[in-house]
Amino acid sequence: MGKSGFVRSAGAWLIAGSLLGIGIGIKEAVVPTPFGTTENIVMQGVVIVANTLTLVGVVGLARSGAAGEGWLARVGLGIALAASALFLPFEVLVAINLELGGALLGLSALVQGLGLLLAGMAVLRIGRWDGWQRFTPLLCGLYTFLVLIPALALSPEGYNAWALAGWQIPFALLGVALYQHGSAPEQRVPAGRAA
Q: What is the rounded CA–CA span in Å between residue 145 and residue 112?
A: 10
Structure confidence at residue 193 (pLDDT): 52
Tell me the average pLDDT of the chain. Answer: 91
- pTM as predicted: 0.90
Do 143 and 163 meet the contact criterion of CB atoms below 8 Å apart? no
Domain extent listing, the chain: 3-181
Q: Which of 70, 58, 172, 54 is nearest to 121 (CA)?
A: 70
Q: What is the mean pLDDT of residues 14-20?
A: 97
Q: For residues 129 and 112, what is the distance between their CA atoms, to the nearest angstrom?
A: 21
pLDDT surpassing 90 at residue 140: yes
pLDDT digits (tens, 9 = 90+) for 66-104: 999 999 999 999 999 999 999 999 999 988 898 899 899
| Residue from 139, 144, 136, 51 nearest 106 by CA | 144
* Amino acid 189: pLDDT: 46
Which residues, other chains included, contact 81 with Cβ-Cβ below 8 Å and sequence gap of 6+? Answer: 55, 58, 59, 62, 115
